[in-house]
Amino acid sequence: MATPKVLILRTAGTNCDYETGYAFEKAGAKVDVVHINILLANKKLLKEYQILTLPGGFTYGDDVSAGKILANQIKYNLEEDIEAFILGKKLILGICNGFQTLTKAGLLPFINKGHQEATLTFNDSNKFEDRWVYLKVCSNKSVFIKDTDVSTLYLPIAHGEGKFITKGKPVLDKIITNHQVIFTYVNECGEEAGYPWNPGGSVHNIAGICDPTGQILGMMPHPERHVEPTQHPRWTRNGLKEWGGGFIIFKNAVSYVKSVFS
């Protein structure tokens, strides 16, 4: 496949669709930004794409809870289509509000099909957190980070409901045992630490997880906001890199699609 196709799903309140589209285009994909209403009216549209992406923002104003309304739209209207999408070895990426949506739709961590087993809730600080964070790559199970030599990432976060928690310790133990924890928050020395390095107070310092197949990735930090090296806040002091730290997420996804669907 010469050019993988990415469907970026948007609705009222989505505000990171263009940045995410730019990142995928930079990685060599063709991007279409599609409103949820268009997809619900023509579910077969999803079959034309190899990557489905839920970008960041505040879908439906985060009324009820962050990502919950969009999660219900997906769960009760697109569940079978999403299942077929994954069975077809395709990829799903959820960033920030997209991660919140995937967990509340029951697509992450997907230990027990059809059940919500985790959520992203209000930060322990009780305020909106907007800062850069260090991430440790804990597992190569996810297609989005697999077979790279990347051990840490430095990315921005911007959320009010970023505290990852599971529905009981058994679920947490399961995703750890399954190597589904892909990113954890760490300090500048690569050590697990509390606030502000773990900005929301996530259990086990979790910043991103995947499903058991490794094809669905959800993460709170924004890789699309660090695809260009000049987006690093200290690039003039630390030196200009080839690309921004978050670009590997998009580059890996596009490379995977090219190899699987060639």
Q: Annotated active-site positions, please?
A: 96, 222, 224
- Neighbouring CB atoms inside 10 A of 231's CB total 17
User: Which ranges constitute the DSSP H helices of the chain?
Assistant: 17-26, 36-41, 68-77, 79-87, 97-104, 169-177, 235-238, 247-260
User: Which ranges constitute the DSSP H helices of 88-119?
Assistant: 97-104
Return the structure tokens found at 69: 């309304």
Say which DSSP state 14 is in: B
Q: How far apart are the first and last CA of the chain?
A: 4
Distance CA 262, CA 252 (A): 15
Which residues on adjacent β-strands are paired with residue 153? 135
